[in-house]
C-alpha cells in the first residue's frame, strides 16, 4: 500500500542519520521494471516527497492494462508520474449511477495500475455541482436538507471506505464557490450544487460534515477543498480562506487546499500563487496544484502554436511548479492528463488547445523540459530560487 510504504521509509530515514529524508520516499520511488535510461523523469527528479501526478481516464485508457505490454500512454504515465488522479472514474455519475448501485470497476482499475507502477492516488471528487447522475438531479428537486445529507453521507462513507488506505489525498469539495462573473457573485453554489441547494440555510454545516464523514471513513487521507481560478489571491480565494478558517475553528478535518491550475494564454498570469499557497499553509493545510494545463488560442488554419506561445506555456507551467516547490506544504503537483488528443480543452473552449505537456506522439514539449529542469535543480524541501 503506497501510504504505508511512504510512512515506513520516512520512519526508516528518520531513524538513520545516513539516509536523507527525501531519498526513496514512495512519491519518488522508481517504478518497477524501468531501466536506467528512464531515470530522467519527472517522478525521479522530484525533491523531498513531492508527488508529481497526472489525471487519467481509466475507463478509456487503463481497463486493458497489461504490465507486460503497456500502451504508450500507460508507459509514459508509469514512467513519469508518481501520482494518478481519476479524470472521471470516481465522479458521482461514474461510481454511483443508481441510488443503490455503486460501480467501482474503472476506479479499481486505476488503483491497480497505480499499485503496479509504484504510484499514489488522488481521489476526485465527492461533492460537486457537475457530473452528478440523472437520479440525483431528479431526486434533488424535492430534497429536504435531511434527505440531501443522508444521500451524501452514504456516498462519502461508501466511496471513501471502499478505497480506505489507497488514497493519499481526496478532493472532498470541488468548485463549491461561484465566480465573480456569476449572478450573485462569489458565494457558495447554493443554486447549481444540489446538495448545497437543499441545505442552503446552512451550507457550511453540510460542507463540514462532508469532511467529517470522509475523515471517519479514511482517517489517513488528506482532505482538500479544490477549485479553478484559485491560483492567486483574488476574491474567490479570499472566500476560501475565510471558509477554511471557519471550518478549522469548528474542528472540521479539513487538511488541504487545491488550486486546479487551468490556465489560458488568453488571460494574464497571476503571480500571487506562491503568496496564496503560503497563507493557506500558514493555517496548517497542505496545498497542491491539482489539475494543471495551459491552453493556447490557435488561429484558424494553423496547425500549432507560435514559438512565443510555446515559450509562454512552458513559463506558466513552470511558474505553477515553482510556487509548489517554494512552499514546503505543497504535497502534490498534478497535470490534467495527456497527450493533447485526450485533453478536455478543445470540446469546452473551441479555438483553444495544445494544453498538455506531451504532443500526440507522446514527445515532450518545452513545458515538460522546463519542469524537469526545475525539479532537478530543486534541493530537497527547498527550491533553488528561494535562496
Ligand atoms: O477532464 C474532465 C472531462 O473529461 C469531463 O468531461 C469534465 C466534465 O465536467 O470534467 C473534466 O475535469 C474537470 C475536473 O473534474 C474538475 N475541474 C475542471 C476539469 C475540467 O473541466
User: CA 253, 258, 262 angle in degrees (round to 5)?
Assistant: 160
Q: Is 291 in the pocket of ligand 1 (CB under 6 A)?
A: yes
Name which of 8-22, 165-179, 280-294, 308-322 the model is least confident about.
8-22
What atom in ligand 1 is closest to the CA of residue 347? Answer: 6
Q: What is the pLDDT of residue 295?
A: 98
Q: Which three cell numbers stand for residue 309?
A: 506561445
Q: Is 85 in the pocket of ligand 1 (CB under 6 A)?
A: no
Name which of 40-49, 180-189, 235-244, 360-369 the model is least confident about.
40-49
Q: 68: CA distance to ligand 1 center in Å?
A: 30
**Three-state secondary structure call for residue 8:** helix
Q: Is 344 in the pocket of ligand 1 (CB under 6 A)?
A: yes
Q: Is 175 a catalytic residue?
A: yes
pLDDT band at 274 (very low <50, low <70, confident <90, very high): very high
Q: What is the pLDDT of residue 304?
A: 84
Identify whether the C-beta of residue 22 lies closer than 8 Å to the C-beta of residue 381.
Answer: yes
The 10s digit of each residue's pLDDT in 43-81 is 999 987 899 999 999 999 999 999 999 999 999 999 999
Q: Is 318 in the pocket of ligand 1 (CB under 6 A)?
A: no
Q: 274: CA distance to ligand 1 center in Å?
A: 25
Q: Is 226 in the pocket of ligand 1 (CB under 6 A)?
A: no
Q: 87: CA distance to ligand 1 center in Å?
A: 7
User: CA 28, 262, 279 angle in degrees (round to 5)?
Assistant: 70
CA distance 171 to 223: 6
Name which of 6-10, 100-104, 220-224 the model is least confident about.
6-10
370 versus 8: which is more confidently predicted?
Answer: 370
Q: Is 291 a catalytic residue?
A: yes
Residue 22 has pLDDT above 50, yes or no: no
Residue 234 has pLDDT above 80, yes or no: yes
Q: What is the pLDDT of residue 379?
A: 62
Q: Is 260 in the pocket of ligand 1 (CB under 6 A)?
A: yes
What is the mean pLDDT of the segment spanning 334-359?
A: 97
Residue 326 has pLDDT above 80, yes or no: yes
- Please report where in the chains the cell 496545498 appears, as a residue: 287
Q: Is 88 in the pocket of ligand 1 (CB under 6 A)?
A: yes
In 135-230, where do the E strands start and end?
167-174, 222-227
Residue 27 has pLDDT above 70, yes or no: no
**Three-state secondary structure call for residue 338:** coil
Report the phi/psi class of residue 191: left, alpha or beta, with left for phi > 0 and alpha for psi in -120 to 50: alpha
What is the mean pLDDT of the segment spanning 121-148?
A: 98
Q: Is 338 in the pocket of ligand 1 (CB under 6 A)?
A: no
Spatial neighbors of 300 by CB under 8 A, at least 6 apart, are: none
What atom in ligand 1 is closest to the CA of residue 336? Answer: 1
Q: 116: CA distance to ligand 1 center in Å?
A: 26
Name which of 21-30, 86-95, 125-134, 331-340 the model is least confident about.
21-30
pTM over 0.95: no
Q: Is 61 in the pocket of ligand 1 (CB under 6 A)?
A: no
Q: 347: CA distance to ligand 1 center in Å?
A: 11
Nearest CA to ligand 1 atom 21: 344
Q: What is the pLDDT of residue 29?
A: 54
The 10s digit of each residue's pLDDT in 195-218 is 999 999 999 999 999 999 999 999
Mutation to probe ligand 1, out of 54, 57, 58, 87 (largest number of atoms < 8 A from CB): 87
**Number of CB atoms found within 10 A of residue 115's CB:** 14
Identify whether the C-beta of residue 126 lies closer than 8 Å to the C-beta of residue 212.
Answer: no
What is the percent of the chain where pLDDT is above 90? 84
Identify whether the C-beta of residue 294 lies closer than 8 Å to the C-beta of residue 316.
Answer: yes
Q: Which helix (H) or strand (E) holds 368?
A: helix 366-377
Catalytic residue among 175, 278, 312, 359: 175
The 10s digit of each residue's pLDDT in 135-191 is 999 999 999 999 999 999 999 999 999 999 999 999 999 999 999 999 999 999 999
Spatial neighbors of 15 by CB under 8 A, at least 6 apart, are: none
Pairing of strands 286-297, 352-353: antiparallel
- Please report where in the chains the cell 501510504 appears, as a residue: 3
Q: Which three cell numbers stand for residue 145?
A: 436538507
Q: What is the pLDDT of residue 301?
A: 66
Residue 386 has pLDDT above 60, yes or no: no
Could you tell me which CATH class the domain 5-378 is placed in? alpha beta
Q: What is the pLDDT of residue 30?
A: 52
Q: What is the pLDDT of residue 38?
A: 59
Nearest CA to ligand 1 atom 8: 131
58-63 CB contacts, 8 Å cutoff, 24+ apart = 58/86, 58/89, 58/106, 58/107, 58/109, 58/110, 58/113, 59/88, 59/89, 59/94, 59/106, 60/342, 61/342, 62/106, 62/109, 62/110, 62/113, 63/105, 63/106, 63/109
Q: What is the pLDDT of residue 15?
A: 34
Residue 231 has pLDDT above 50, yes or no: yes
Q: What is the mean pLDDT of the chain?
A: 90
Q: 130: CA distance to ligand 1 center in Å?
A: 9
Nearest Cα residue to 333 out of 287, 276, 379: 287
Q: What is the pLDDT of residue 2?
A: 43
Q: What is the pLDDT of residue 12?
A: 33
**By CB neighbour count within 10 A (0-12 exposed, 13-18 middle, 19+ buried), where does 364 fall?**
middle
Nearest Cα residue to 381 out of 41, 130, 28: 28
Q: 328: CA distance to ligand 1 center in Å?
A: 28
Catalytic residue among 291, 302, 352, 359: 291
What atom in ligand 1 is closest to the CA of residue 91? Answer: 15
Pairing of strands 51-56, 120-127: unpaired
Amino acid at each position: 500500500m503506497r501510504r504505508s510504504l511512504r510512512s515506513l521509509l520516512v520512519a526508516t530515514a528518520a531513524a538513520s542519520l545516513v539516509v536523507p529524508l527525501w531519498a526513496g520516499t514512495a512519491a519518488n520511488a522508481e517504478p518497477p521494471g524501468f531501466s536506467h535510461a528512464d531515470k530522467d523523469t519527472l517522478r525521479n527528479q522530484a525533491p523531498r516527497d513531492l508527488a508529481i501526478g497526472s489525471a487519467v481516464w481509466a475507463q478509456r485508457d487503463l481497463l486493458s492494462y497489461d504490465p507486460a505490454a503497456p500502451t504508450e500512454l500507460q508507459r509514459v504515465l508509469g514512467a513519469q508520474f508518481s501520482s494518478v488522479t481519476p479524470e472521471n472514474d470516481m465522479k458521482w455519475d461514474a461510481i454511483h449511477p443508481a441510488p443503490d448501485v455503486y460501480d467501482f470497476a474503472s476506479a479499481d482499475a486505476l488503483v491497480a495500475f497505480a499499485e503496479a507502477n509504484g504510484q499514489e492516488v488522488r481521489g476526485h471528487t465527492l461533492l460537486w455541482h457537475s457530473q452528478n447522475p440523472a437520479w440525483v438531479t431528479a431526486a434533488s428537486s424535492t430534497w429536504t436538507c435531511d434527505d440531501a445529507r443522508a444521500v451524501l453521507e452514504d456516498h462519502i462513507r461508501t466511496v471513501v471506505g471502499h478505497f480506505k488506505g489507497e488514497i493519499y489525498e481526496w478532493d472532498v469539495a470541488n468548485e463549491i464557490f461561484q465566480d465573480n462573473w456569476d449572478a450573485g457573485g462569489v458565494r457558495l453554489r447554493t443554486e447549481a450544487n444540489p446538495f448545497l441547494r437543499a441545505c442552503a440555510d446552512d451550507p457550511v454545516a453540510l460542507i463540514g460534515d462532508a469532511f467529517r464523514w470522509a475523515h471517519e471513513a479514511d482517517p489517513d487521507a488528506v482532505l482538500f477543498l479544490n477549485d479553478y481560478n484559485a491560483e492567486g489571491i483574488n476574491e474567490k480565494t479570499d472566500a476560501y480562506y475565510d471558509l477554511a478558517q471557519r471550518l478549522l475553528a469548528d474542528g472540521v478535518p479539513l487538511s488541504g487546499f487545491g488550486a486546479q491550475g487551468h490556465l489560458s494564454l488568453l488571460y494574464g498570469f497571476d503571480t500571487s500563487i506562491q503568496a496564496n499557497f503560503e497563507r493557506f499553509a500558514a493555517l496548517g493545510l497542505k496545498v497542491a496544484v491539482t489539475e494543471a494545463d495551459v491552453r493556447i488560442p490557435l488561429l484558424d488554419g494553423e496547425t500549432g502554436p507560435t514559438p512565443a506561445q510555446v515559450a509562454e506555456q512552458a513559463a506558466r507551467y513552470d511558474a505553477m511548479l515553482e510556487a509548489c516547490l517554494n512552499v514546503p506544504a505543497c504535497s502534490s503537483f498534478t497535470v490534467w492528463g495527456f497527450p493533447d488528443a485526450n485533453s478536455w480543452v478543445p470540446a469546452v473552449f473551441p479555438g483553444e488547445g495544445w494544453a498538455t505537456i506531451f504532443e500526440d506522439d507522446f514527445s515532450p514539449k518545452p513545458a515538460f523540459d522546463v519542469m524537469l529542469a526545475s525539479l532537478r535543480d530543486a534541493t530537497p524541501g527547498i527550491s533553488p530560487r528561494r535562496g
